[in-house]
Amino acid sequence: MQHFQTSFFYNLQELIRNAPLLRKYYLIFQALDLSALQDRNYGVGATGHSRHAMLRAFIVKHLEGIKSIPQLLDYLNSIPPLLEICGFELGNLPDESQFYRFLQKTKNSTIKAIHQKT
């Protein structure tokens, strides 16, 4: 099966202007100060996926009332522009184990600091 990069078929800025759901998340994510959260692992080992993108995905999960991480992944995969707004590359969404690992390794105080800055 061939994979086509979806962004060839839509203009993200035009969709943000015209789609209320995408505009909502674009504005929320623009207001976030994520400086308290290191985006990637720059030490030993692979850099992995963006922690900022994962946090944005969890914001979508919370605001959309999505009950589980597998449901979140299905939701994001079904709306490629939202996937891109979160900060993921199309076709390169982390698997659920990486989302669970993000939850385990991210300190609650870091999330609170981000929330207070917003």
Question: What confidence score (pLDDT) does residue 27 get?
Answer: 95
- Whole-prediction pTM: 0.84
Question: What confidence score (pLDDT) does residue 113 get?
Answer: 85
pLDDT above 90 for 102: yes
What band does 4 get if pLDDT is binned at 50, 70 and 90?
very low
More confident residue, 65 or 16: 65
CA distances from 71 to 3, 25, 64, 68, 77 (A): 22, 18, 11, 5, 10
- Residue 101 token pair: 């690992």
CA distances from 52 to 1, 4, 10, 19, 86 (A): 30, 25, 24, 23, 8
pLDDT above 70 for 2: no
Mean pLDDT of 49-69: 95
